[in-house]
Amino acid sequence: MKFNIDQLKKKIIYRSNYRGTKEMDKLLGAFTNTYIDKLNIDDLTDLEKLLDVDDNTLYDFYNGIPSKVELKDNYINSLFKNFKYLK
């Protein structure tokens, strides 16, 4: 079975826009829309893993608040941490 990158992108876009909290819907939706077409397959896989993290942990990570959960130091997490969300 051939891997379909377009299917993965659609899945990521959906999951980033329908998180459960409106704040994370907007933040992750904007982040994903900004970078989705610039990412390679490894980065997309890391982004999919980032979306597996719960909203509270992601919010804390984004805002530099210490959390019990450690996120890997990789390109996607760094990109997300430094993303400037403009309302």
pLDDT at 2: 54
C-alpha–C-alpha distance, residues 16 and 62, integer Å: 15
| SS3 sequence of 23-72 | HHHHHHHHHHHHHHHHCCHHHHHHHHHHCCCCHHHHHHHHCCCCCCCCCC
pLDDT in tens, 19-51: 989 999 999 999 999 999 999 999 999 999 999
* Confidence at 10, pLDDT banded by 50, 70, 90: very high
pLDDT at 86: 83
Please tell us whether the domain made up of 5-81 is placed in CATH 1.10.150.120: no
pTM assigned to the model? 0.90
C-alpha–C-alpha distance, residues 38 and 59, integer Å: 23
Contacts of 8 (CB under 8 A, 6+ apart): 41, 44, 48
